[in-house]
Amino acid sequence: MRPVRTAFAGALLGTLLLAGCGQSGDTTTATAPTTAPAPAPASSSAGFPVTVEAANGKITISKKPERIVSLSATHTETLFAIGAGPQVIAVDNQSNFPPEAPKTDLSGFKPNVEAIVAQKPDLVIVSDDLDQVVAELGKVNVPVLLQPAATKLDEAYEEIAELGAATGNQAKADELVSGMKDTIGKLAAQAPKSGELTYYHELDTTPYAATSQTFIGQIYGLFGLTNIADKAPDAAGGYPKLSAEFVAQADPDLIFLADVKCCQQSKDTLAERPGWKNLSAIKNDQVIQLDDDIASRWGPRVVDLAEAIGAAVSKAGTG
């Protein structure tokens, strides 16, 4: 795992302002100016150049990017949440939030370098280096930040901070991270703690699940839940394929569905599966339909996921 750090790691807004003060190379003048200096334009690069240590190495961004292309739905959400939305000129076909994001037919799964370059970006953000897109864009001198899927909350927070530094929105990014930490901490603290409550998080109808070692599993862990997938035969990989019999025997107290949009799953469809109609979660109405997108991304809306989990735990604890 790469160290997720920026050249401004832990830097406060004051550090950025200090960096901006040296932009002209001098902090004093031999003679006083006869007229006041003109105000900096909106596209001012105060705080730049900045170096971000991403998964593809230390990337130096010389000036504030004004034509950002995001090929990651998670990072698109983050960019808009930290105030970089006006700088984003194109996003991939999976970036469906927020609604105002400039969605295109660009793909992060099958990146077309020519199509990306045609957008004339001064920064491209990806979460996967498929088809060697990072190197290919590097050949035409397009700065790329590779920010892979976070495996824990701290990594998600670091990536938000990195995007803040890279786009000139460090203060807003720091504020966002602080708010996320505070809200998630309060939700976890308020939820009744019961190590006896078990759960099953379904990724798709195969069915694949997520263990406690995954990013999603660690969110559930904050609420003191016990994951039935941890005892699956192939749990070591983090995403075991569970048999219907395994889930039926485990009989989880709570079932969270992350395959609602894609596969139209619900309490009723689960009840039709062999041996599942008498599961405790189904009989006690403890099947929670999640938003597939929120449950699969590691950006700002992790807070929404935590809220859904907290509400379910509270309901189960008082039921």
**The pLDDT of residue 248:** 97
Give the residue among 212, 200, 231, 95 at the shortest CA–CA distance from 152. 212
**The pLDDT of residue 167:** 98
Structural domains of the chain in order of their starting residue, each with its CATH number: 46-179 (3.40.50.1980), 192-318 (3.40.50.1980)
| Spans of the chain, pLDDT less than 70 | 1-44, 194-195, 318-319
Rounded Cα–Cα distance for residues 271 and 265 (Å):
10
Residues 230 and 236 sit within 8 Å (Cβ to Cβ):
no
Q: Which DSSP state fits 241?
A: B
**Encoded tokens for 44:** 């001012």
Rounded Cα–Cα distance for residues 252 and 6 (Å):
41
Residue 160 amino acid letter: I
**The pLDDT of residue 307:** 97
What is this structure's pTM?
0.84
Report the helix count and the strand count for the chain, using DSSP H and E. Answer: 13, 11
Residue 157 amino acid letter: Y
Residue 76 amino acid letter: T
Rounded Cα–Cα distance for residues 111 and 121 (Å):
14
**The pLDDT of residue 317:** 74
Q: pLDDT of 242-268, one tens digit each?
A: 999 999 999 999 999 999 999 999 999
**The pLDDT of residue 47:** 87
CA dihedral angle for residue 155, residue 151, residue 112, residue 160, rounded to 10 degrees: -20
